[in-house]
Structure 1
């Protein structure tokens, strides 16, 4: 993928603005009747326009009329640029690209708006159907489909970038062994049952999926169990979410795929839970969960032993449980450098009468109900004073260096009422964390540490002018903190 770098001031920059700046870099090119100068290709270049004709040769001067005609013609290495306009048609791939010749690419012409609209389409109920491999789809808006905006089946090496999917029953679905796929700067909203879902759907499991700067929000029906991002049941594995956001759905990230990392993500204002975790080897790092209806984090038992790691996260204000942990035999919860604050009922809830499978330290605890900061099987309960005085550490053997905040508005956050969870100057979280397994950058991309030690929570406090960092669309999931 062509590398596009941007420099940005990260301290205090809202996530939505950062996403807009990064994603818009793909489209700010300027329209032309020629191949965009930044574009490199191996095969033929074709064009589609609303004023074209499928009997034309598909050139810039004589474009085709339908995207489907381009799909029928293109072979490995070919690209079609779709000129701006509304296209009332269903599109399905007909052949694959390959390593030697390159991807088959469907791209909106840079700077122009391409809408694949299902209104009035009688021959299909899914906007874009991908059942072949080595396919790229860039810069398209897909809307008003009675079933799925985009369906990916039994395909590999798929790249979807700068697309918007909305007002559909299902957003984007991947199934039947789909693997090695990437979504970059994709926004999915106003859907009935899910924004994105990967599941076997009766076939092989999906695996090796990466999501960069993606957003899922606004379920259509609050009475439905609507997921923002869902990785369905089975033996699916190896997914990465980088700087993704979800809100205004039932469950934000519903993760039932092993070996999954969520880095610098945000789940907020969900009707039920922000993060629902089912599988083994799930890591949530440098992430935010706040103002969710029931839980910020829910760790469920899937019948097999597993480990969930929470590292340098902020979990703030859940109505029932800040973190709910089923803690069945064999499951483990590891939590370090995290802030738990503002829970209306219970802060950290252990469902079973056992804490031997919990490992944690260098955390900060607060709870609006000061007497239920931690609850074990709803029987052994620990108040803020109990935690501060070492009662919880003596009981569990954990959190020996953890702290208690009695006033998070003045001791922790810049502006809790506005959900600005950056650390305030003089915060007890500054330099109070452990460097063990700490990420190398924070939620904003600021390098850690900034002071004499690592800060607790998703944000590293940085004095002075905003730090400029590089943001690269060639994301590296192996880099700590990504």
Structure 2
């Protein structure tokens, strides 16, 4: 699965093979002074300069440098090594202090805890209790109390780097929580959160959770419990079935004077997120196959927007709201992964009344591609939705099965131009403007897609493992062919680009019902062949033809 990201107007097009590598480099520093911390060469007696750095971030906090030496708008560059833990209570900085990985460096921290403090940016860090000489499962990053104006970005957070050997009991006892955030105006952006229990939980109001990857968790992927939070363009996948918790890709509930289900959660936006129960990796038998996608069971949920999300699961609860007022569920794609002998599902979109009988009112379910609808409340306007049965998928999607999870529409799909423009999102999940044709398409993706984005998807489908090819030279030839196609597309020479792709198709034989293997084959792995063929035939060539 490729990391979801926004590039200009587009999210990375492919939902293909797993990529869990994060460049732990921070962006350019803010205006202000710059200080350096280096566990290898630094000293508590240093002055924090590049030539005489301090020893560790934990020591910098203990020595009281923040707010004394280090002021609002300053940047603290961390070099490679173990920096202990970052625990800060109090302090307010109108222009945030930035704590970031120095270019090319990988600073390691045991945990982060920020309490009743304002004005911080943490960027490019590796944070894990396993970095400490003595392991103890703790919340990896906690923002609490009245904290505000805090950003954690481009960081890697995990309990342990490799949990492949963990048993169910190990997961249940050892997995740490990833990020928890209280307060207001918290931003969590472009982080990778791996091998955790509850991954990202936000009680803070007026906050943003954007472009994060959650991979391998045993609780919930995302939680939104505060008002006016935007969760957008996050990828959440691989839920582990290790206890009785009913895991959700995203979960919310209200809390009021009478406890759970007696209050309101207001103004949350769920936009462009991808939830995958599991990627069907046979080496991980503990993966949960029936994940609840977006589960909001104890309202009331007021003034929510749920748009352009993609959900793959076997559970009934694809998107569920029990107790909803003015909730819009528009242009989502909710798909049954289709595994054999599934005892749950197919996943539905449901809006029902509150568990206490309070009616849901003023809700809209529109332009969704879904395996089922279960609208049990009378307070729902439902129109322009399309039910996707098992036999319908080939007529709709490029390749919805694992590991591709590609639900771009194919030419002639009945979802094309069949939606309503009323309240539809202005763009699709990749940032393509709606509509592209005579009308808005149903589901999260608008057709046609961008040929250059489709080329990115095709590149991502090609493994770096030379064993998929006849030889290393054939691997290089395949990648070179795609580079030629890219240049042709950029030059607007679509006919020649199509012929180059058709020539590449002839370099893949010996699998399935196709021609027998011959001396001209470049790609010999049948799984890779199948994925590449579908991308070329059902996605890239049609988008090139549409661009002519």
On whether the aligned pair clears a TM of 0.5, the verdict is yes
Using the alignment, how far apart are the partners of 1:348 and 1:299 within structure 2?
12
1:111 is matched with: 104
- Following TM superposition, by how much is the alpha carbon of 1:179 offset from its aligned partner in structure 2, in angstroms? 0.2
- Following TM superposition, by how much is the alpha carbon of 1:266 offset from its aligned partner in structure 2, in angstroms? 1.0
SS of residue in 1 equivalent to 2:441: coil
Using the alignment, how far apart are the partners of 1:27 and 1:362 within structure 2?
45
1:479 is matched with: none
Alignment CA distance shift 1:228-1:338 (3 Å): same
2:387 is matched with: 365
CA contact (8 A) 2:270 2:309 kept: yes
2:353 is matched with: 327
How many positions carry a matched residue from both structures?
Answer: 376
1:461 is matched with: 447
Matched, 1:231 2:224: yes
Matched, 1:287 2:309: yes
- Please give the per-residue CA displacement for 1:285-325, whole angstroms capped at 9, x wherever unaligned: 01101124342112123xxx523221111011173242343
From 135, 154, 164, the equivalent of 2:156 is 164
Alignment CA distance shift 1:182-1:18 (3 Å): farther
Using the alignment, how far apart are the partners of 2:17 and 2:207 within structure 1?
23
- Please give the per-residue CA displacement for 1:396-449, whole angstroms capped at 9, x wherever unaligned: xxxxxxxxxxx4223211112242111011111111111111111111111111
Matched, 1:251 2:248: yes
CA contact (8 A) 1:70 1:80 kept: no
From 125, 138, 141, the equivalent of 1:150 is 141
Matched, 1:77 2:70: no
CA contact (8 A) 1:187 1:216 kept: yes
Using the alignment, how far apart are the partners of 2:17 and 2:304 within structure 1?
25
Using the alignment, how far apart are the partners of 1:115 and 1:464 within structure 2?
39
Alignment CA distance shift 1:190-1:359 (3 Å): same
- Following TM superposition, by how much is the alpha carbon of 1:284 offset from its aligned partner in structure 2, in angstroms? 1.1
Between Structure 1 and Structure 2, the one with more strand by share is 1
- Following TM superposition, by how much is the alpha carbon of 1:57 offset from its aligned partner in structure 2, in angstroms? 1.0
CA contact (8 A) 2:185 2:205 kept: yes
1:377 is matched with: none
- Following TM superposition, by how much is the alpha carbon of 1:330 offset from its aligned partner in structure 2, in angstroms? 2.4
2:367 is matched with: 337
- Following TM superposition, by how much is the alpha carbon of 1:69 offset from its aligned partner in structure 2, in angstroms? 3.0
Matched, 1:98 2:93: yes
From 182, 195, 199, the equivalent of 2:199 is 195
- Following TM superposition, by how much is the alpha carbon of 1:90 offset from its aligned partner in structure 2, in angstroms? 2.1
Moved more, 178-187 or 73-82: 73-82
1:137 is matched with: 122
Matched, 1:439 2:431: no
- Please give the per-residue CA displacement for 1:366-398, whole angstroms capped at 9, x wherever unaligned: 345xxxxxxxxxxxxxxxxxxxxxxxxxxxxxx
2:276 is matched with: 268
SS of residue in 2 equivalent to 1:189: strand
Using the alignment, how far apart are the partners of 1:410 and 1:92 within structure 2?
53
Alignment CA distance shift 1:437-1:16 (3 Å): farther
CA contact (8 A) 1:47 1:83 kept: yes
2:14 is matched with: 13
From 450, 453, 462, the equivalent of 2:436 is 450
Between Structure 1 and Structure 2, the one with more helix by share is 2
Using the alignment, how far apart are the partners of 1:416 and 1:453 within structure 2?
24
Aligned alpha-carbon RMSD (Å): 2.8
- Please give the per-residue CA displacement for 1:132-159, whole angstroms capped at 9, x wherever unaligned: 1011111111112522101111200011
Using the alignment, how far apart are the partners of 1:109 and 1:79 within structure 2?
10
Moved more, 5-14 or 326-335: 5-14
From 54, 65, 69, the equivalent of 1:64 is 54
Using the alignment, how far apart are the partners of 1:15 and 1:67 within structure 2?
38
- Following TM superposition, by how much is the alpha carbon of 1:450 offset from its aligned partner in structure 2, in angstroms? 1.1
Using the alignment, how far apart are the partners of 2:44 and 2:366 within structure 1?
60
From 308, 317, 331, the equivalent of 1:312 is 331
Alignment CA distance shift 1:151-1:97 (3 Å): same
- Please give the per-residue CA displacement for 1:59-102, whole angstroms capped at 9, x wherever unaligned: 11111111023333022222210001233x22212553432xx2
Alignment CA distance shift 1:272-1:11 (3 Å): closer
SS of residue in 2 equivalent to 1:422: strand
TM-score normalised over the length of structure 2: 0.63
CA contact (8 A) 1:446 1:467 kept: no
- Please give the per-residue CA displacement for 1:240-274, whole angstroms capped at 9, x wherever unaligned: 01201212232111123320001111112164301
TM-score normalised over the length of structure 1: 0.72
CA contact (8 A) 1:186 1:214 kept: yes
Alignment CA distance shift 1:6-1:416 (3 Å): closer
Runs of at least 5 residues in structure 1 that lack an aligned partner in the other structure:
30-37, 118-125, 200-205, 221-225, 342-346, 369-406, 469-482
SS of residue in 2 equivalent to 1:460: coil
Alignment CA distance shift 1:435-1:165 (3 Å): same
- Following TM superposition, by how much is the alpha carbon of 1:15 offset from its aligned partner in structure 2, in angstroms? 7.5
Alignment CA distance shift 1:10-1:66 (3 Å): closer
- Following TM superposition, by how much is the alpha carbon of 1:169 offset from its aligned partner in structure 2, in angstroms? 1.6
